[in-house]
Amino acid sequence: MIERPKATPTVRIDDGRVKATEWAFEPGAETGWHRHEHDYVVVPLVSGRLLIEMPDGNAATAELTEGIPYARKVGVEHNVVNDGPGEMRFLEVEITG
């Protein structure tokens, strides 16, 4: 088991319709394993590289560009790791209601 620092989540909005969480990752930091219970959009606040680990042991690298969002559907299970040399930050917006 790899011991990594934890990314820091800061909830910016949680009003029953949407939940917006800013995630900050030092190099090598991870979110920890989680499953999304809602559809969501990620907006990178800086450009960087993330490693997306999947439960089946596979992993993929994602290059994020500041300000260019992407969306995912409910049910995604993964661990997100900052695989780059600098701090990584993004805003995760979940559609909760």
- Asked, for residue 3, whether it belongs to a domain, the answer is no
pLDDT, tens only, 71-82: 999 998 999 999
Q: Record the tokens describing residue 88, joined without a space.
A: 């990584």
pTM flag (> 0.75)? yes
- Asked, for residue 2, whether it belongs to a domain, the answer is no
CA angle at 16 for the pair 13 and 18, rounded to the nearest 5°:
50
- Asked, for residue 24, whether it belongs to a domain, the answer is yes
d(CA 18, CA 97): 7
- Asked, for residue 1, whether it belongs to a domain, the answer is no
List of residues 6+ apart from 62 with CB closer than 8 A:
49, 50, 51, 52
pLDDT, tens only, 22-60: 999 999 999 999 999 999 999 999 999 999 999 999 999
Total number of domains in the chain: 1
- Asked, for residue 66, whether it belongs to a domain, the answer is yes
| Domain extent at residue 74 | 8-95
3-state helix, strand and coil shares in percent for the chain, rounded to the nearest 5:
0, 55, 45
Average pLDDT over residues 60-67: 96
CATH number at 68 reads: 2.60.120.10
d(CA 17, CA 84): 33
